[in-house]
Structure 1
Amino acid sequence: MVSNIIFLLLTLGAGIFFALNIRKIIQKIKLGKSVDRTDQKKLRWKTMAKVAMGQSKMTRKPIAGTFHIFIYLAFVITQIELIEILVDGIFGTHRFFQPSLGGLYVLSISIIEILSVLALIATFVFLARRNLLKIPRFQMPEMKGWPKLDGNIILYMEFVLVMCIFTMNGTDEVLFARGESHLAGEGSLGFAVSSWFGPMVFGGMETSTLHILERVGWWGHIIMVFSFLNYLPFSKHLHILLAFPNTFFSKLTPMGKMTNMESVTKEVKLMLDPAADPFAAPAPEEGAVPQRFGAKDVNDLSWVNILNAYTCTECGRCSEACPANTTGKLLSPRKIMMDVRDRAEELGEGIRKNGADYNDGKSLLGDYITEEELWACTSCNACVQECPVLIDPLEIILDLRRFLVMEESKMPAELATMNTNIENNQAPWQFSPTDRLNWKDEA
């Protein structure tokens, strides 16, 4: 009875703490400007099913993608066993579903164990890739310190979780064979891995020791699950949850299509319409704050941009594919997303503690992302193409550059010359429009 109460309190505490932290993240995502991403719902559901659930873009890198799918499937299927542990913990039962499901129960746990073995192999592979093989995209400057430690912590937790599963099932297999399990009956539980792993590792131990180890595995499993759950809001691995809404709300237009500001579009159309009366436009509302051109801080971005940042798993596929990054320039699309998330965290916490008028004198542009990074971007969309969860760093880069050009008149000299030529000559080159066809008269 005491253990049931402890379990219930632990479950409620973990659930409440997780909900509070997720609520904070949602508030920080809402710092962004409103944007409608509810159109074409059928296509959005299809995109989410294909990319987030089906992991369709992960296998663009076959080795990493395959091992990631092992961990993903193990994470999803293990929730079946987690449901049983929750029932057992609350009501004091043991393997609650086994009597009613019979062979189906054995099949389910066997699949979980096989996937757990594959996930364990994947865990060692990923640890080696990050720490021994020195894969270049994991050695970039933005991956020093906490990002590197964060990537390792989750793998350590995965290892401990799998060990707890096999300790729980392996000892229970031996206890059941002796007729000493909390589950009535004796013989073999018949699980694919534990049926041989249990006797091999735990077969020579005393029954009292097995009971202790079985409880250590059982409690260790659920404690690791709750620890993992409440670590997510502080980790890049929040993508486990956010990949689904992120792919659902992703941009459905072609990657090369750039968005235009509505206010600017209206002005241009007004200028090009000979029948329009420029004085017929309504006067601006008194006291209204003029709309900023582009973005200087995270609250100038859209909420989808900030959702992108929180979904980023820092895999580095974007930066690895970026031509600017591979040629030694300062730009790293992954760093752009990390900077947006860090700034949203900083500004969001300040607003939460000090009120909506909070201003720390900082901004995303300048304090986190430099002009050199922005102008290094070639707008090629390689980063967008490579992202496994449809994150769009380019949209953020374009908005920040738009602010520099339209608000502060800052741009590289080459671009300034080109813009002047387009304005005066209707072409990027410095010659008269009437001279553009002179080539046809040449011999």
Structure 2
Amino acid sequence: MQYIPNILFLIALAVGGGFFVKNIKKLVRNINLGKDVDRSDNKPQRWRNMAKIALGQYKMVKRPISGILHVVVYVGFIIINIEVLEIIIDGIFGTHRIFSFLGGVYDFLIASFEILAFLVFVSVIIFWLRRNAIRIKRFLNPEMKGWPKMDANLILYFEMVLMGLFLLMNAADLQLQILGADHYVSGYGTITGSFPISGYIAPLLDGMSVSSLIILERTAWWLHILGILVFLNYLYYSKHLHILLAFPNTWYAKLKPQGEFNNLQAVTDEVMLMMDPNADPFAAPPESEDDTSEPDKFGASDVTDLNWVQLMNSYSCTECGRCTSECPANQTGKKLSPRKIMMDTRDRLEEVGKNIDANENTFVPDGKQLLNDYITKEELWACTTCNACVEACPIGIDPLSIIVDMRRYMVMEESSAPSDLNNAMTNIENNGAPWPFNQLDRGNWINEA
């Protein structure tokens, strides 16, 4: 009978871990639906970016209030999880505070965990107030209604409950040590651990019997670890998947100058052919099984036309809205929201993944695509390609690359572009300028001075 808790704990770990591995495999599969792109260049710079942006939170603190609060939650999340290691070992082997032999170091660690847990709890409350009471504008966009808003609040409730359970568990444990309960007292006759926060909670438990305190401590202990397992598996369905993807996302981010656009190789080849005076324009292109310069489709109309880094970007999106709040098109009332572009891409990718799961690992055409069914042409053409969204993103997401690829599809596959743009291109072709007047008149403005 004494081993039943250990067996139940192992079962909980196995089930939680199994679902987590399954979700990670699905995530990797969906990301790999994108086209291949090489992001292995300049590895030293990529490591620096990851250390500076993902680990150091460099871009996050550019907005100091939310940035500092996020750093507190981030550091708390990382460091407090060291305590989870002790919980796992205790759960497997039936021990209690297995690391207590560290003495003063252990006291320092527990005190640090408690202070961080309290700071995380306070920070999460402030985050909740900013979203639901203060109602900051970037959290009120149309794409944030329904599930996105609920998801953001659920995560905050999760974190408050987990931190509360951690402190309650320690408070009950401290009270049991004070009462001299078996299994909760160290062999040295002193209090194991330092409890600067839960020490203020423990007096509230005065008058409870040892058996009641044990039930309270064990309940908080179990709920804390089960809550962590549930939270871990909830990440896949949440915007907080960036907890796992922020590091690879910053490592694989584009290193080229933000104003530099990539050229389609097939178009480049055609232009080079036109500029080569010795080339025969009527010659058939060389046949080669390895020749991939001619794409099946110019640009992108669906998620499988995008590259895998762009798809990873969509899963990494934190939905913080910094990109949208910096977007000049959005500020002037246009429908474009870079955050919505990423959310729509992720939603369509999830739909494609579910289609594959339902049809024995084969995608069955569903009559939908990212263009029109999720993202409208009006949104795409509202973009000024200023890169403000890319600069604003705290983890290096590039919504502009998706917008540009979908524009390419509209222009090169559908011959679809706004009339003003078509007129400008026609004028450039005929007059050498986007304005509708003869090339000979281009310098007349000088005479007006």
Q: TM-score by structure 2 length? A: 0.95
Question: Hey, what does 1:302 align to over in structure 2?
Answer: 307
Secondary structure of the corresponding residue to residue 85 of structure 2: helix
Q: Which amino acid aligns with 1:281?
A: P
Q: Determine the C-alpha separation between the residues in 1 that align with 2:93 and 2:330.
A: 56
Secondary structure of the corresponding residue to residue 97 of structure 1: helix
Cα pair 1:173 1:194 within 8 Å, conserved: no
Question: Hey, what does 1:353 align to over in structure 2?
Answer: 358
Q: Which amino acid aligns with 1:372?
A: E
In the TM superposition, residue 181 of structure 1 has moved relative to its aligned partner by 5.1
Question: Hey, what does 1:208 align to over in structure 2?
Answer: 211
Change in CA separation of 1:290 and 1:40 when aligned onto 2, cut-off 3 Å? closer
Alignment partner for residue 221 of structure 1, among 216, 221, 224? Answer: 224
Moved more, 192-201 or 316-325: 192-201
Q: Determine the C-alpha separation between the residues in 2 that align with 1:408 and 1:420.
A: 17
Question: Hey, what does 2:28 align to over in structure 1?
Answer: 26
Q: Which amino acid aligns with 2:277?
A: P
Secondary structure of the corresponding residue to residue 98 of structure 2: coil
Deviations, residues 60-80 of structure 1 (Å, cap 9, x unaligned): 111111111111011000121
In the TM superposition, residue 112 of structure 1 has moved relative to its aligned partner by 1.0
Q: Determine the C-alpha separation between the residues in 1 that align with 2:250 and 2:295.
A: 32
Alignment partner for residue 100 of structure 2, among 93, 98, 106? Answer: 98
Q: Determine the C-alpha separation between the residues in 1 that align with 2:109 and 2:204.
A: 23
Alignment partner for residue 422 of structure 1, among 411, 423, 428? Answer: 428
Question: Hey, what does 1:258 align to over in structure 2?
Answer: 261
Question: Hey, what does 2:339 align to over in structure 1?
Answer: 334
In the TM superposition, residue 157 of structure 1 has moved relative to its aligned partner by 0.7
Q: Determine the C-alpha separation between the residues in 1 that align with 2:44 and 2:15.
A: 38
Alignment partner for residue 194 of structure 2, among 191, 195, 211? Answer: 191
Q: Determine the C-alpha separation between the residues in 1 that align with 2:35 and 2:29.
A: 12
Q: Determine the C-alpha separation between the residues in 2 that align with 1:189 and 1:218.
A: 17
Q: Determine the C-alpha separation between the residues in 2 that align with 1:158 and 1:221.
A: 11
Q: Determine the C-alpha separation between the residues in 1 that align with 2:245 and 2:295.
A: 33
Moved more, 303-312 or 198-207: 198-207
Question: Hey, what does 1:433 align to over in structure 2?
Answer: 439
- Does residue 1:59 correspond to 2:64, yes or no? no
Q: Determine the C-alpha separation between the residues in 1 that align with 2:182 and 2:204.
A: 17
Unaligned stretches of 5+ residues in structure 1: none
Q: Which amino acid aligns with 1:156?
A: Y
Moved more, 10-19 or 349-358: 349-358
In the TM superposition, residue 276 of structure 1 has moved relative to its aligned partner by 2.9
Alignment partner for residue 38 of structure 1, among 9, 22, 40? Answer: 40
Alignment partner for residue 378 of structure 1, among 378, 384, 388? Answer: 384
Change in CA separation of 1:195 and 1:436 when aligned onto 2, cut-off 3 Å? closer
> What is the root-mean-square deviation of aligned Cα atoms in Å?
1.9
In the TM superposition, residue 107 of structure 1 has moved relative to its aligned partner by 0.8
Deviations, residues 180-220 of structure 1 (Å, cap 9, x unaligned): 15242444335242462243222332211111111011111
Q: Determine the C-alpha separation between the residues in 2 that align with 1:194 and 1:179.
A: 21
Alignment partner for residue 320 of structure 2, among 315, 333, 336? Answer: 315
Question: Hey, what does 1:239 align to over in structure 2?
Answer: 242
Question: Hey, what does 1:162 align to over in structure 2?
Answer: 163
Q: Determine the C-alpha separation between the residues in 1 that align with 2:105 and 2:420.
A: 68
Change in CA separation of 1:27 and 1:170 when aligned onto 2, cut-off 3 Å? same
Change in CA separation of 1:69 and 1:181 when aligned onto 2, cut-off 3 Å? farther
Cα pair 2:6 2:94 within 8 Å, conserved: yes
- Does residue 1:413 correspond to 2:419, yes or no? yes
Q: Determine the C-alpha separation between the residues in 1 that align with 2:85 and 2:152.
A: 27
Secondary structure of the corresponding residue to residue 334 of structure 2: coil
Q: TM-score by structure 1 length? A: 0.96
Q: Which amino acid aligns with 2:191?
A: S
Question: Superposition pairs for residues 387-398 of structure 1, below 5 Å?
Answer: 387-398=393-404
Secondary structure of the corresponding residue to residue 9 of structure 1: helix
In the TM superposition, residue 350 of structure 1 has moved relative to its aligned partner by 0.6
Question: Hey, what does 1:124 align to over in structure 2?
Answer: 125
Alignment partner for residue 268 of structure 1, among 267, 271, 276? Answer: 271
In the TM superposition, residue 421 of structure 1 has moved relative to its aligned partner by 1.4
Deviations, residues 276-331 of structure 1 (Å, cap 9, x unaligned): 34426314769x99521110000001111110000001111111111111111111
Q: Which amino acid aligns with 1:369?
A: I
Change in CA separation of 1:181 and 1:48 when aligned onto 2, cut-off 3 Å? farther
Cα pair 2:323 2:392 within 8 Å, conserved: yes
Q: Which amino acid aligns with 1:310?
A: Y
Cα pair 2:310 2:398 within 8 Å, conserved: yes
Cα pair 1:177 1:187 within 8 Å, conserved: no
Q: Which amino acid aligns with 2:19?
A: F
Residue identity (%): 54
In the TM superposition, residue 440 of structure 1 has moved relative to its aligned partner by 4.9
Deviations, residues 149-194 of structure 1 (Å, cap 9, x unaligned): 0000011111110111111111111111222152424443352424
Q: Determine the C-alpha separation between the residues in 2 that align with 1:195 and 1:214.
A: 12
Question: Hey, what does 1:86 align to over in structure 2?
Answer: 88
Q: Determine the C-alpha separation between the residues in 1 that align with 2:445 and 2:333.
A: 38
Q: Determine the C-alpha separation between the residues in 2 that align with 1:299 and 1:40.
A: 27
Q: Which amino acid aligns with 2:321?
A: G
Deviations, residues 117-143 of structure 1 (Å, cap 9, x unaligned): 110001110111111111111111111
Q: Determine the C-alpha separation between the residues in 1 that align with 2:240 and 2:448.
A: 63
Q: Determine the C-alpha separation between the residues in 1 that align with 2:227 and 2:258.
A: 40
Deviations, residues 35-78 of structure 1 (Å, cap 9, x unaligned): 00111111111101111111111111111111111110110001
Secondary structure of the corresponding residue to residue 434 of structure 2: coil
Cα pair 2:352 2:363 within 8 Å, conserved: no
Q: Determine the C-alpha separation between the residues in 1 that align with 2:97 and 2:232.
A: 23
